[in-house]
Structure 1
Amino acid sequence: MPKITIACFSLLFFLFSCYSKAQTENKVTNKEPHSTDKGSVLFNTNKADCISLPFGYSDLSKRKTVDSVLSAIQDENKLKEIHGLQFEKLIRKDLVWLPEAYDVLLPFSTSVNEKNDPIKTASRFLCNGDYSVYFMAVYNTVRYAEPFIEKIYLVSTKDGKLIDMKRIYLNHQGEMGFANYTLFNIDENKIIALQDYELTENPFQLKPLKKYQILPSGKFARYFDKDGSFKNDEEKGLVKNHHKEGKWIETQPNGSLDAQKYPEFTDSYTYLEAEYKKGLPTGTWKFHKLLQQYNEKTGEPLLNTRKKGSLIYTETYREGALEKREFH
């Protein structure tokens, strides 16, 4: 089977360095790929292998209980449909840098050997005009005898260059019955819907459904059904042409900071003053401490107590790309 070269995935490393632990340095330079002269990305380009839409879990709105979520995860027909994408091309894990949504750096832990957690790209893909979107799966073979797909990413490419990626599927089995799941659906208009679920002591948390759209640039951006003012427990701002526009306030967990290296980062959340243009980050983003109180019994944050604290660091974006990060 063809192998994807180190040169090409070095480009992917730079593209997503803003998601990796390398972000904890004072300044980050994010290089966009300009050429694939030193090696070609060996993705399938046969249009006959384009998938039909919709694809995924079309009934996400009905999955609101533990039993309904587990039945979806264990649905043999859906698993066959996903495996029908034909994940055949193996990628060496040291050639790929994958952003994680639950603060676990697998499959790049030094305790995991090369035979475990294989990463594969699928032969079948999503066609969309000038760019194509490929599926990439990460298999879990560490804790279970029978390998299973733990994560699936969409990887967008344009003119042979790797542009952006988004995790769309998660089946993460934790300790003591705790688990994190993400189910997805891609509709006829190529709008990607993602629903996150978390099984904890609570015991079940249904997180807000989020939608994404692939922009003409090949980058993924949040998509909203309606324009105008938007506000929920985590973010607020203006939606224009279905995307974030202008100033936004976001109070969400921030997993990119090392609390030991930066002891002033005393909470897993930050208070972010962000700015967007046509759905993409722009200008200077300001990350502050999030001052908040917690429920003594459940440990959950009390949303009405959230306030902006001191400035921790800033990020500077240009045309959606991170140019530098500075700590204060």
Structure 2
Amino acid sequence: MFKINIAFFTSLFFLFSCYSKAQTENKAIQTEVHSTDKGSFSFNPNKADCITLPFGYSDISKRKTVDSVLSAIEDKNKLKEIGALQFEKVIKKDLVLLPEEYDVFLPFSATVNEKYDPIKIASHFLCYKDFSVYFMAVYNTVRYADPFIEKIYLVSTKDGKLIDMKRIYLNHQGEMGFANYTLFNIDKNYIISLQDYELTENPFQLKPLHQYQILPSGKFARYFDKDGPYKNDEEQGLVKNHLKEGKWIETKPNGSLDLQKHPEFTDPYTYLEAEYKNGLPAGTWKFYKLLQKYSEETGEPLFNTRKKGPLIYTEVYKEGVLEKREVR
């Protein structure tokens, strides 16, 4: 089994802390496609290469043990199915910037294996109304002689223009058996289900299954099965038409906090007062320090002790796009 270097992972968190997890669910990625020494990049427009749904790991909701998760990750038939998307079109590492939940940005540092192109777009893609949604693979070329797909993103486009990205797959394994995985499934209704798994000293955490849908704008937004009030350990608010609407309170890890520059923030969590309109960030978001206590036995946060601390910074959104950030 491959292994992850937790210290390396943590250092990347500090070095590239720019976007919060609360934001990355819904932000539009304003990346332009540039020319490279291989010429200008273009997406495959051939509708004959559209995949058939459902696609992915259809039984992720049933995989609730370490063994069942590892068997899915190591399933050679499923890996062949993913490989059949034909990741052939190379994107140079200076072409794209990818915010994601682990706050790791591409391009990587100079430690990337230059003999192998780390980012590729698949020839086969997902057709949805007027949009083409491509699969983009990021290969681990740093630690292993034989590169493998570590992350897969869905890349939403229209008329060749990049609209949004969402990471749907992760195979990041580490030292002492620590690992982080994400498995995905896209059903016939184009609802994208993501299940995160974390193997730590605990030793296994099954995180809540999250679902996403493609909005009429081509952006990805959280999808909920039922409308009405919603609440779990990390967030609470109103769901309308299967999307977040109005005021939400979110208490999650926040990659925007540079803990080296601000050692007074003893952990990367914030208490966020957010606002959504039709599933996308809107208005002013207020990020406060999250005050919380931890279990002496497990070191995990005690959710019933969480409360709002001092204001750290604010962000202003318009139609899901971040327009301004002000640090207090």
TM-score category of the 2 structures, normalised to the smaller one: 0.7 to 0.9
Tell me if structure 2 keeps the 8 A contact 1:36–1:160.
Answer: no
SS in 1 for 2:294: coil
Higher relative contact order (CA 8 A, sep 6+): 2
After superposition, the C-alpha distances for 1:106-152 in whole angstroms (9 at most, x for unaligned) are 65123334335610000000001111100000111322222210000
1:160 aligned onto 2:172: no
Q: Return the letter of the residue paired with 2:221.
A: A
Q: Return the letter of the residue paired with 2:281.
A: P
Q: Which residue of 2 aligns with 1:211?
A: 211
Alignment of structure 1 residues 243-258 onto 2, 5 Å = 243-258=243-258
Give 5+ residue unaligned stretches, structure 2.
1-15, 21-27
219-228 vs 100-109, which deviates more? 100-109
Structure 2: how far apart are the matches of 1:180 and 1:233?
20
CA shift for structure 1 position 257? 1.9
Q: Which residue of 2 aligns with 1:288?
A: 288
How many residues align? The count is 304
Q: Which residue of 1 aligns with 2:60?
A: 60
Q: Which residue of 2 aligns with 1:317?
A: 317
SS in 2 for 1:292: strand
CA gap of 1:314–1:61, structure 2 versus 1, over 3 A, is same
Q: Which residue of 1 aligns with 2:92?
A: 92
CA gap of 1:116–1:33, structure 2 versus 1, over 3 A, is closer
SS in 2 for 1:95: coil
Structure 2: how far apart are the matches of 1:130 and 1:216?
9
Q: Which residue of 2 aligns with 1:11?
A: none
Tell me if structure 1 keeps the 8 A contact 2:199–2:205.
Answer: yes
Q: Return the letter of the residue paired with 1:322.
A: L
Give 5+ residue unaligned stretches, structure 1.
1-19, 25-29
Q: Which residue of 2 aligns with 1:306?
A: 306
Structure 2: how far apart are the matches of 1:104 and 1:98?
8
After superposition, the C-alpha distances for 1:197-217 in whole angstroms (9 at most, x for unaligned) are 000000000000000001010
Q: Which residue of 1 aligns with 2:13?
A: none
Tell me if structure 2 keeps the 8 A contact 1:185–1:193.
Answer: yes
Alignment of structure 1 residues 235-274 onto 2, 5 Å = 235-274=235-274
Q: Which residue of 1 aligns with 2:200?
A: 200
CA gap of 1:274–1:131, structure 2 versus 1, over 3 A, is same
CA shift for structure 1 position 100? 2.9
Q: Return the letter of the residue paired with 1:220.
A: F
Superposed CA RMSD in Å reads 2.3
254-263 vs 189-198, which deviates more? 254-263
Structure 2: how far apart are the matches of 1:209 and 1:284?
28
Alignment of structure 1 residues 30-109 onto 2, 5 Å = 41-105=41-105, 108-109=108-109
TM-score, scaled to structure 2: 0.87
